[in-house]
Amino acid sequence: MKWLGLLASLALLAGATDALAQGPRLEPAPGGLGTPGIGGAPDATVPPSVPTEPTTPDLIVDLSLARVSITSAFQGESILLFGMFDPPGEIVVVVAGPPARETVMRKQRFMGIWLNTGRQAFDDVPAYYAIAASQPLQRLLARGAGGEILSLEDRLASLKPATPRDAAELARFRAGLVEVKRREGLYPAAIGQVTVQAGRLFRVDLPFPSRLPEGVYDIRVYLLREGKIVAAISRPLPVGKVGFSAQLAGWSAHEGALYGLGAILMALLVGYLGGAVMRRL
Amino acid sequence: MEIYLPIAELSMNVFLLLGLGAAAGLLSGMFGVGGGFLATPLLIFVGIPPAVAVASQANQVVSNSISSLQVQWRRGNVDFRMGLVLLAGGMLGSSAGVWLFTYLKRIGQIDFVIAVLYVVMLSAIGLLMLAESLSTYFKRKRNPDGPRGKLHSHYLVHRLPLKLRFYKSKLYISALLPLGLGFIIGVLSAILGVGGGFVLVPAMIYLLGMPTAVVIGTSNFQILFVAANVTFLQAATNGTVDVVLALLLILGGVVGAPIGARIAAKLPGLALRALMSVLILAVAGELLTELLRTPTSLYSLGAREVLP
């Protein structure tokens, strides 16, 4: 899939200039008014880069891929997020996977053997979480940008435990959750800075590991000026199996018995024929 | 070359999986056991979720046993009466095992139970086999043409009720014995994703006292149907059978098995048994270290639940 990435990089320049010339889909500039919330609901039927409202943008964003397709050859994917903004300003990108309940288990030594003794479930845990900015995030957020932009720590601090427990223990389980997610590449610690070129073009690579939960991911891009959000764009990124993988996963989930019979039949056939062929050799 | 496994939900090297299947096939060709006892821990070790590893391995066992069963069947090495009694126990055991598996998975203890069961069983069998091969070796050395002794010894187990005649095995024993044995193998098969041949074969020889010639064929007969039952139940209740993973293991096994059989034909039986016991003990040792060693991370995650 390396060539796809290459293609995407090539498309970046073309795409960005296109977008500039035609004025892409975007929400009206909030102009620093009261609530600069998330911009116009993205229309899933409109492919990226197709302009819908020609207006003067503060912020334009596009992705090198409209969706993450988990095919039989899927090994994880790196998606390029790129765009333009009206200088001056700083860019913050937040990617959050679909929320779900996660159960964290903790091992303890028991009579010399390590086994799971503690467990704690949390609600509303994002499957994936990555944040990047054009300046060190700490510095940007320290200036009071805050608002809805949350660092991973802040996002997880608000997690609701499914069952109550004392704060110190919860903090330990929360740290354990981050540790496991980091290891699986789902909470990438440093996805790298958003790089800005010519003062207005920006880009950042979003890494997605092969062990990627399915669902609709939410990508939000913020334009900050003097610590305040002046523009924001939200883009959904569907992540799902396609083709043969999707077919098999669907059968396994919905037609379990039939799938099981099919698996047995496959095994019998391949085993019988394979055995017969190998004995002739 | 990587391939995405749709049920395990991760991508893995094709050749690694083919190689694993081939190694399991090699063992099955050499020793007449499924090789699952080696493949399942290795699958878990390379990162396949235990539930998927066990269920998909059961699917591989189906293919492995049909391949050797057709040979044994043609040679008339299957005691069907014994096989059916074992199978009756096996069906009950494997159904109970899949239920137990689902329960253990829910309370988050399945990995631990799998590891402990492997360690206990593999060490016991490995040690027994090693002791047996060593004692045979020394006896033969002292008295190469000595008396063969009785066909088999008689224990308390021969006084159990419900006696049945097994003509092919030249046995007159209680049906409860093979029934119970089949049940235990069924439970193990469901929880560990093995055919159970490495327990069943020694048990048939030493516990039931069956003649070695019919042991492999008869155990294959029972294992085929039990593995099919496990595959079906795991697919229907847990949805954890990954056919892409299973197919790769099967293809590797198809190539590995005849090679193993050729090696086995060249090695004397005693050396073969000693070799296998060492292999079994090595796997048990590795799993035991895993249990005792301080883990790199104390934390792990259970299944994600998307709430409505």
Rounded to the nearest integer, the mean pLDDT of chain A is 78
pLDDT surpassing 90 at residue A238? yes
Helix (H, G, I), strand (E, B) or coil at A216: strand
How many angstroms separate the CA atoms of A234 and A94, rounded? 9
Comparing CA positions, the residue from B202, B253, B301 lying closest to residue B56 is B253
User: What does pTM read for this prediction?
Assistant: 0.77
Q: Which residues in chain B have Cβ-Cβ distances shorter than 8 Å to A72?
A: 3-4, 6, 244
Helix (H, G, I), strand (E, B) or coil at B291: helix
What percentage of chain B carries pLDDT values higher than 90? 23
- Are B243 and A274 an interchain contact pair (Cβ–Cβ within 8 Å)? no
Give the residue extent of every domain in chain B. Answer: 2-141+156-292
Number of CB atoms found within 10 A of residue A131's CB? 21
- Are A101 and B109 an interchain contact pair (Cβ–Cβ within 8 Å)? no
Mean pLDDT, range A36-55, rounded to an integer: 46
What totals of helices (H) and strands (E) does chain B contain, helices first?
10, 5
- Reading the block at residue A176, the tokens are 């354990």
How many angstroms separate the CA atoms of B55 and B98, rounded? 10
Which residue in chain B has the smallest CA separation from A255? B236
What totals of helices (H) and strands (E) does chain A contain, helices first?
6, 12
How many angstroms separate the Cα of B117 from the Cα of each of B23, B114, B188, B192, B276?
A: 22, 5, 8, 8, 19
Helix (H, G, I), strand (E, B) or coil at A74: coil
The residue among A186 and B149 whose pLDDT is bigger is: A186
Give the pLDDT confidence score for residue B143 in this predicted structure.
Answer: 62
Give the pLDDT confidence score for residue B248 in this predicted structure.
Answer: 95
Q: Which of A216-225, B73-82, B133-142, B277-286 has the lowest mean pLDDT?
A: B133-142
How many angstroms separate the CA atoms of A187 and A132, rounded? 12
Q: Which residues in chain B have Cβ-Cβ distances shorter than 8 Å to A277?
A: 254
What would the DSSP string read from start to end of B191-221?
HH----HHHHHHIIIIII---HHHHHHHHHH
Q: Where are the beta strands (DSSP E) in B74-215?
A: 163-166, 171-174
- Are A116 and B7 an interchain contact pair (Cβ–Cβ within 8 Å)? no
Q: Which of A190-194, B45-49, B63-67 has the lowest mean pLDDT?
A: A190-194
Mean pLDDT, range B7-33, rounded to an integer: 86
Q: Please give the single-letter amino acid code of residue B300.
A: S
The residue among B286 and B304 whose pLDDT is bigger is: B286
Which residue in chain A has the smallest CA separation from B294? A114
Considering only CB atoms, B67 lies closest to which of A98, A115, A275, namely A275
Mean pLDDT, range B110-124, rounded to an integer: 87
pLDDT surpassing 70 at residue A74? yes
Band of pLDDT at residue A51, cut at 50, 70 and 90 = very low
Give the pLDDT confidence score for residue B308 in this predicted structure.
Answer: 60
The residue among A155 and A105 whose pLDDT is bigger is: A105
Which residue in chain B has the smallest CA separation from A127? B304
Give the pLDDT confidence score for residue B142 in this predicted structure.
Answer: 67
Give the pLDDT confidence score for residue A262 in this predicted structure.
Answer: 95
Give the pLDDT confidence score for residue B291 in this predicted structure.
Answer: 86
What domains lie within chain A, and their CATH numbers? 2-241 (2.60.40.1930), 242-281 (no CATH)
Which residue in chain A has the smallest CA separation from B298? A107
Give the list of residues 6+ apart from residue B16 with CB closer than 8 angstroms, or none. B46
Q: Which of A103-107, B54-58, B143-147 has the lowest mean pLDDT?
A: B143-147
Mean pLDDT, range B23-30, rounded to an integer: 82
What percentage of chain A carries pLDDT values higher than 90? 25
A137, A165 Cβ separation under 8 angstroms: no
* Cα torsion A16, A21, A22, A27: sign: positive
- Are B301 and A267 an interchain contact pair (Cβ–Cβ within 8 Å)? no
A104, B301 Cβ separation under 8 angstroms: yes
Helix (H, G, I), strand (E, B) or coil at A206: strand
How many angstroms separate the CA atoms of A260 and A238, rounded? 29
Chain A: closest CA distance from residue B159 (Å) = 39
Say which residue the tokens 């609701």 belong to: A160
Rounded to the nearest integer, the mean pLDDT of chain B is 84
- Reading the block at residue B136, the tokens are 């045979």
Q: Where are the beta strands (DSSP E) in A46-150?
A: 59-63, 68-70, 77-85, 90-96, 99-110, 113-126, 129-133
Chain A: closest CA distance from residue B20 (Å) = 16
> DSSP assignment, residue A143?
I
Mean pLDDT, range B203-212, rounded to an integer: 81
Band of pLDDT at residue B144, cut at 50, 70 and 90 = low
pLDDT surpassing 90 at residue B89? yes
Helix (H, G, I), strand (E, B) or coil at B151: coil
Helix axes B212-233, B50-74, angle to 10 degrees: 140
- Are B112 and A101 an interchain contact pair (Cβ–Cβ within 8 Å)? no
Considering only CB atoms, A116 lies closest to which of B108, B292, B307, namely B108
Residue-wise pLDDT for B243-281, tens only, equals: 999 999 999 988 888 888 888 888 887 887 788 888 888
Give the pLDDT confidence score for residue B57 in this predicted structure.
Answer: 92
Which residue in chain A has the smallest CA separation from B305? A101
Which residue in chain B has the smallest CA separation from A243? B6
pLDDT surpassing 70 at residue A144? no
Considering only CB atoms, B4 lies closest to which of A245, A259, A274, namely A245
Chain B: closest CA distance from residue A279 (Å) = 7
Mean pLDDT, range B197-210, rounded to an integer: 82
How many angstroms separate the CA atoms of A12 and A204, rounded? 11
Strand-strand pairing, A68-70 and A228-241: parallel
Comparing CA positions, the residue from B215, B173, B200 lying closest to residue B61 is B200
Interface probe, candidates B3, B4, B291, chain A, greatest A C-beta count within 10 A? B4
Give the pLDDT confidence score for residue B172 in this predicted structure.
Answer: 76
Q: Which residues in chain B have Cβ-Cβ distances shorter than 8 Å to A210?
A: 2, 4, 10-11
Give the pLDDT confidence score for residue A117 in this predicted structure.
Answer: 87
Band of pLDDT at residue B78, cut at 50, 70 and 90 = confident
Band of pLDDT at residue B19, cut at 50, 70 and 90 = very high
Interface probe, candidates B18, B65, B301, B307, chain A, greatest A C-beta count within 10 A? B301
- Partners of A232 in the β-ladder: A222
Interface probe, candidates B75, B249, B299, chain A, greatest A C-beta count within 10 A? B299
Q: Which residues in chain A have Cβ-Cβ distances shorter than 8 Å to B65?
A: 271
- Partners of B300 in the β-ladder: A105
* Cα torsion B123, B126, B131, B132: sign: positive
The residue among B209 and A44 whose pLDDT is bigger is: B209
* Cα torsion A137, A140, A143, A146: sign: negative
Interface probe, candidates A120, A123, A278, A280, chain B, greatest B C-beta count within 10 A? A278
Chain B: closest CA distance from residue A242 (Å) = 10
Whether a cis peptide bond, with omega within 30° of 0, leads into B147 is no
pLDDT surpassing 70 at residue B11? yes
Give the pLDDT confidence score for residue A21 in this predicted structure.
Answer: 40
Give the pLDDT confidence score for residue A236 in this predicted structure.
Answer: 92
- Reading the block at residue A181, the tokens are 């997610």
Comparing CA positions, the residue from B34, B178, B189 lying closest to residue B96 is B189
Mean pLDDT, range B109-114, rounded to an integer: 86
Which residue in chain A has the smallest CA separation from B14? A73
Give the pLDDT confidence score for residue A146 in this predicted structure.
Answer: 58
Chain A: closest CA distance from residue B207 (Å) = 30
Q: Which residues in chain A have Cβ-Cβ distances shorter than 8 Å to B3?
A: 72-73
> DSSP assignment, residue A187?
S
Q: Which residues in chain A have Cβ-Cβ distances shorter than 8 Å to B299?
A: 104-107, 173, 176-177, 179-180
Q: Please give the single-letter amino acid code of residue A104.
A: V
Q: Please give the single-letter amino acid code of residue A167.
A: A
ipTM of the complex: 0.84
Residue-wise pLDDT for A90-131, tens only, equals: 888 999 999 988 889 998 888 888 888 888 888 889 999 998
The residue among A12 and A281 whose pLDDT is bigger is: A281
Residue-wise pLDDT for A2-40, tens only, equals: 444 444 444 444 444 444 444 334 444 443 343 444 444
Q: Which residues in chain A have Cβ-Cβ distances shorter than 8 Å to B232?
A: 257, 260-261, 264
Give the pLDDT confidence score for residue A46 in this predicted structure.
Answer: 46
Say which residue the tokens 């092969």 belong to: A210
Give the pLDDT confidence score for residue B156 in this predicted structure.
Answer: 55
How many angstroms separate the CA atoms of B18 and B6, rounded? 17
